[in-house]
Structure 1
Amino acid sequence: MLVASSTLSNHLVCCRPLLLVPSIFPNIRVFSRESSLLTMWPKYWSTHWMSEVLALIRSHGDPSWVQNALVWDRAPWIEAADGLKEALKYPPPRLLSTHLPFQVLPPLQSQAFFLCKEVVYTMCNPRDEMVSGYHFFQGFKDLKDSGTMEMYLERFLSGEVLFGSWFDHVKGWMEMKDRANIFFITYEELQQDLPGSVQRICCFLGKELNSQQIESVVENASFHKMKDNKMSNFSLIPDDIFDHTKGKLPRKGISGDWKNRLTVAQREYFDRVYQENMRGVNMTFPWD
């Protein structure tokens, strides 16, 4: 469950198990002017797929960087204490990542996200988010056990999971959808047309890649390439942090796996909660 201090008096914003210390806020402000920010509710594969795409676009399709630098070093998490230190390893323009909900970022809003060169927000069918999170979080030793799928479904729909409610996360960031420096895309769009999605992202970022470079981005960001790349497949997460026997990374790299995991009753329950929470949202999603 997301836990955040309401003020800076405690000098701490906490998203278990990650800590963001306000003393680094000025550095975030500096970084933001030269950085692209990737943000989304935490789903393992779509998060790191977009991170891979952005890294390859940054290097004009040259896979050297993604083959020689760990994925969490290429686009460090700003909510991690050492995140910005990791970002200093590379020259600008830099990539940064966050799973933080926009609603818990008042101290940062004017200092970082409004000033970022670009913000890319990736969304995914929440049913797939739920199933992916169930499997992904099982591997982290410091996190609460996911329990059964039914138990995790209840926690997911009530927002009692890491980084809080998917519904609040999406709606919070969507409040910024009219800002010119924020780009929204879905995991499903990436799957249906990765070359076209890469071109759209390049246009948003102001990056001009030729057809061969775009082909290289698409090839090297494929599921099979990333699965075989130890710098991208999370196989190098230390064993004291992640139990690789419980959480298989990456799993399938597909959308729609929720259909294989949820019962008819669970699907109907999920749909009711989804409709209640997304009522009034003026946006159509691929999964609607």
Structure 2
Amino acid sequence: MSRETKIPVTIITGFLGAGKTTFINYLLKQNQELQFALVENEFGDVPIDTRLIKGVDASQMFELKQGCICCTITDEYELVLKELAERFPNVEHLLIETTGIADPAPVIQPFFADKMLREIYRYNGTVCLVDALNFTNHPEEEISIKQLNVADLILLNKTDGVDRINVDEIMKKLHRLAPLSVIQAACFGNAGPLNLDNIQQRILNEYTLLTYANSHNTIQTKTLTFKQAINKADFVYWLEYTLDIYKNKIYRCKGYLCFENEPFEYILQGVGGRFQLEEGELLLNAAESQVVFIGKLDNLPLEFEP
């Protein structure tokens, strides 16, 4: 299968909680004239991030369910890419969001190694989000370095929460770690004027992307599900206490919550011991809540009793 015009593919990577989904929403808003498709890969059983994407038709969002694609690259990944092009011939740009613990190299490699994918797609580059708030206290530095190593554009996100001197210091370290990348500051995923067609800085091929097998056996997920509305004050108190006590073990928490006497769903985003709750959509269905924790969770008492 080949196309007259190849579909550009942009990879969005970055560690857990760096702001990848927020940045994707920014891209979609800034490029409303383009027909996007999205391949979403989440670490965990519950697809939280797909609920947060605004601007891509639900039928053109593909979820990969067989684990983190960097270490479980299977036929599913390449079949999804081929099926996407067949089902949606009008797609003008493909975004792939990796999990926060992914090495992006194996995600990129099929676009160079697979003959059919080379005929359909054009690799457009990789954007890596970096969390300025948690940069100096990073729990998995090796993963982050792998993400930086293939990035064409690095966005130092959440700079509004860090003073200018520390931002400059982080920028200097990023330039040392990734001298071939363009690096710029961002806030709430807002990268300013960004030419989506001019991201790639590196010359890659299937051999430059060879990497060692990845294993995330020490990183687990735990999902809490509540079938009825819960008390907001009780949950917030429990979560504040839990994230403070175990902030070095819980890398990320996210979810959607339905509280008693609240007409709206709330979106939970947490990283590095901090979290925020934002008002979401009006509740139209049964009040179900789900929260996902990611990190080194062995023997942690992650149970909330409504």
Structure in which a larger fraction of residues adopt strand: 2
Where relative contact order (Cα < 8 A, 6+ residues apart) is larger, the structure is 1
TM-score under structure 1 length normalisation: 0.38
Larger radius of gyration: 2
